[in-house]
Amino acid sequence: MIRFLSFLVLFAASSYLYGSTFVYMELGDITERSEAIVRGTVKDTESRYNDERTKIFTYSMIDVKETLKGKVPPVIKVRTFGGRVEDVNMKVPGMPEFRKGEEVFLFLRKNEDFWHVTGMIQGKYTVDKDENGKEYLKNDYKGIIFKKVNADNKLEDMKPEDIPAKYDYADFVSRLKEILQKKVKTDTKK
């Protein structure tokens, strides 16, 4: 029994140590910070070391099907930290991962020659369909602890039930378009 309890304590501590904490970004915030918002399909992924062989990056080629914000070419290259090269597997908690063939909805910003996901895991959704063909956006926040800025401008913990991990696609895009239209109206008034 003592051995089992010791294992549970060790497991809980390691889960805490390897998790990531993020300030939760509302839809308006992540939209504002993104240069582009797209829907597409992952054509291919490739992981490789940087020139110094100190970091692993994964490069995902995304075939863009729809652009809701910004201007992007038909195929974009998204770079993320982490990946597997030979026998080395580098995982970065909170960094989105891509799978070939996966349909994704992304909030992006450009840096150098690559696109990066805004807000790390918060800026990548998988497009999924139910048995009736209705589309949803899903996000896997496993191992992520979210905080929000309260009225006193201090960080406070968020409850897991306060963080939606699944959205109706049509509703989400409708809300997003409203935010984008308000931004255009505000910018034209300036």
Cα–Cα nearest to 35, from 68, 61, 66:
68
d(CA 144, CA 93): 8
pLDDT surpasses 70 at 102: yes
pLDDT, residue 118, reads: 96
Using an 8 Å Cβ cutoff, are 72 and 91 in contact? no
pTM for the predicted model, two decimal places = 0.84
Greater pLDDT, 139 or 117: 117
121-177 pLDDT tens trace: 999 999 999 999 999 999 888 778 888 888 898 899 887 778 888 999 999 999 999
Three-class SS state of 182:
helix
Mean pLDDT, rounded, for 87-109: 94
pLDDT surpasses 80 at 14: no
d(CA 165, CA 47): 27
pLDDT confidence bin for 188, thresholds 50/70/90: low
pLDDT, residue 186, reads: 66
pLDDT, residue 185, reads: 62
pLDDT confidence bin for 3, thresholds 50/70/90: very low
Using an 8 Å Cβ cutoff, are 108 and 116 in contact? yes
